[in-house]
Structure 1
């Protein structure tokens, strides 16, 4: 059973969104999955997210980008 996710509205500049879209396309992810991946990696690297605390993004339930 996939982990429950919370919806969160995000205001983002067009330039940042375009860059995230290009990066997501390169990594074969949706923009939503790419943003979650980047946030999770930043949290992990800063020591604010312990290993196993957040499962990797499952892109099969995309929120439409």
Structure 2
């Protein structure tokens, strides 16, 4: 996942939660896509395996505990 083949858009936290959308910043070189996605299709947490050892992932977990 990544490189010039991925782009992101801005949305509200509430809409992202509702759609189970993955924030682009959580996708790293070690993120694995579980199934093919169509062009312009939203990447959800169900679609990927994140690298849980990264600082950004740990900060996101903390954010979820505080506000999510």
* TM-score with structure 2 setting the length: 0.24
Higher strand proportion, which one? 2
